[in-house]
Amino acid sequence: MADLPKQEHFVATAIEDDHEAACWGCGLRLLLPSYSPVFKCGWCGAITSQNERECENHGFWWRRVRDRCFVCVIVGFMLFVICGGVWAVYPVIFSVSNFCGILHSCITVILSITTVSMFSLAAFRCAGTPPIIQWGSYPVVGKGYLENYTFCHYCSKPKSPRTHHCRSCRMCILDMDHHCPFIGNCVGAANHQYFIAFLVSAIISMIYVSIMSTYAVMHVWPPLSLRALGHLSGTNNQIVWRTFKEVIFAFLSSALLLSTRGLVLVYLFFSSVSVEIGLSVLLWQQLCYIYLGKTYLSHLSSHGDEVGEKDCKNLFRFFGCPYFISRYLPDVWNSPKRHNK
């Protein structure tokens, strides 16, 4: 008993409306008001919620099937872009010169391998498990050892700060940002970097596909059949409007004569542009949260309160930049500080 920490004694007045509750972290029993839904232990710092219930598995299999379907659609789209782009674009590229064809083939292989690899690491790598800690009774847990820890009734174990339980993955995720159905996995501490790398690689790949498909479709598009525009009469606005209608009609008429290769190129252009716009917005949002030192879930739970310090060093730390490099860039990369007069 000599090794046990010195116990602290508290004297409290019992009120009729009070009830006795036990801390899940250290086991101490406390008198709390009956209307207190959440309390924090003064010894170990653990947070206990009186209203938490055990999880319900309702909808789990539906979410699992949804995630698997999204992953299959994404994989199928990537394979179609790679295979369809090679089939539709590269006959035109190799017709220019062999050097041009070999160069663009190497670029395609590098972008394809990078995008598929980053997607696989983000989708099939564990998003991050919280640390395993010792807990259970007053002599075992030291003072402040479980500070701001909560108890997860889904996993039946302590949950560290910045950890959230995902009902789709059925586990607690450390530094959970969000559950992404398109990768069928959570974005957390272990795969967040791969998710950002996948977004960057996918955006670069989509820009490359849109440029190459535009270049190729210009060579396979049927010639436009325009009537003589010089005979148009009327005001300037009428001439411009009739010319515009004539060009659109000729463009649509020639589109009906497109070959299968041309239709694939048109689809690749519009799909790549739409995907790169959506992924660019998502990447910008992710980088903004990293700059703020937050995740998406912590941003929602903070209700506008600052969780971390706004600093570009957050970006360096996130991408694993060594400290001895970022420490020499305080004047350039630090956020400007506002001084009140």
Burial of 23 (0-12, 13-18, 19+ CB in 10 A): buried
**Of 73, 59, 51, 56, which Cα lies nearest the Cα of 123?**
73
- The DSSP-derived string for 106-125 is HHHHHHHHHHHHHHHHHHHS
Q: Known catalytic residue: 180?
A: yes
**Of 131, 123, 134, which Cα lies nearest the Cα of 172?**
131
Single-letter amino acid, residue 43: W
The active-site residue out of 44, 180, 288, 321 is 180
**In 97-173, which residue ranges form alpha helices assigned H by DSSP?**
98-124
* 34 CB neighbour count, 10 Å cutoff: 11
Give the number of C-alpha atoms closer than 13 A to the C-alpha of residue 50, restricted to the C-beta side.
13
Q: Considering Cα of 136, then 142, then 143, then 146, what sign does the dihedral take?
A: negative
Does residue 203 contact residue 279 with C-beta atoms inside 8 Å?
A: yes
Q: Considering Cα of 29, then 32, then 34, then 39, what sign does the dihedral take?
A: negative
106: tokens are: 């190497």
Distance (Å, whole) CA 142 – CA 5: 8
Does residue 65 contact residue 165 with C-beta atoms inside 8 Å?
A: no
Distance (Å, whole) CA 294 – CA 308: 7
Distance (Å, whole) CA 203 – CA 299: 25
Distance (Å, whole) CA 36 – CA 18: 9
List, by residue number, the catalytic residues.
180
